[in-house]
Amino acid sequence: MNSVLPQNIGIDISKASLDCHARPAGIGRQFANTKKGYAALIKWIAQWHVERIAYEATGVYHRAFEQALVGCPLVRINPERARRFAQATGTLAKTDTIDAAMLALMAEALKPAPRPERAQNLNQLAELVNARDGLVRDRTALKNREKNLTLPLLKRQAKQRLEQIARHIDAIDALAQKIIQADPELVRKQEIIASISGVGILTAAQLIATMPELGSLENKQAASLAGLAPVARQSGQWKGKCFIRGGRANVRQALYMPALVAARFNPDLSAKYKQLIAAGKPAKVAITTVMRKLIVTANALIKADRVWVKSLP
Q: Summarize pLDDT for 180-195 with one digit per residue, the tens.
A: 999 999 999 999 999 9
Task: State the average pLDDT for the chain.
Answer: 90
**Residue 3 pLDDT:** 54
More confident of the two residues 111 and 229 = 111
- What mean pLDDT comes out for the span 50-68? 86
Is the bond preceding 112 in cis, omega lying within 30 degrees of 0?
no
Structure confidence at residue 172 as a pLDDT band (50, 70, 90)? very high
Q: For residue range 12-34, list pLDDT tens digits in order.
A: 998 889 999 999 999 999 999 99
Low-confidence winner among 31-45, 103-117, 194-208, 232-246 (lowest mean pLDDT) = 232-246
Q: What is the pTM of this model?
A: 0.78
- What mean pLDDT comes out for the span 136-155? 94
Amino acid at 307: V
Q: How far is CA 139 from CA 123, 145, 166, 173, 286, in A?
A: 24, 10, 8, 16, 28
Range with the largest mean pLDDT of 70-74, 102-106, 238-242: 102-106
**Distance from C-alpha of 222 to C-alpha of 242, rounded to nearest angstrom:** 18
More confident of the two residues 144 and 234 = 144
Q: What is the 3-state secondary structure (H, E, C) of 191-236?
A: HHHHCCCCCCHHHHHHHHHHCCCCCCCCHHHHHHHCCCCCECCEEC
Question: Residue length, the chain?
Answer: 313
Structure confidence at residue 237 as a pLDDT band (50, 70, 90)? confident
Does the pLDDT of residue 42 top 70, yes or no?
yes
Structure confidence at residue 118 as a pLDDT band (50, 70, 90)? confident
Q: For residue range 266-284, list pLDDT tens digits in order.
A: 888 999 999 999 999 999 9
The alpha carbons of the chain give a radius of gyration, in whole angstroms, of: 23
**Residue 10 pLDDT:** 95
Neighbours of 2 (CB within 10 A): 8
- What mean pLDDT comes out for the span 147-159? 94
Q: For residue range 78-96, list pLDDT tens digits in order.
A: 888 899 999 999 998 889 9
Q: How far is CA 93 from CA 57, 83, 98, in A?
A: 20, 10, 8
**Residue 48 pLDDT:** 92
Does the pLDDT of residue 36 top 80, yes or no?
yes
**Residue 58 pLDDT:** 80
**Residue 208 pLDDT:** 93
More confident of the two residues 145 and 313 = 145
Structure confidence at residue 123 as a pLDDT band (50, 70, 90)? confident
- What mean pLDDT comes out for the span 189-206? 93
Structure confidence at residue 236 as a pLDDT band (50, 70, 90)? confident
Task: Give me the half-sphere count of Cα atoms (radius 13 Å) on the Cβ side of residue 290.
Answer: 35
More confident of the two residues 3 and 263 = 263
**Residue 117 pLDDT:** 75
**Residue 4 pLDDT:** 65
**Residue 1 pLDDT:** 45
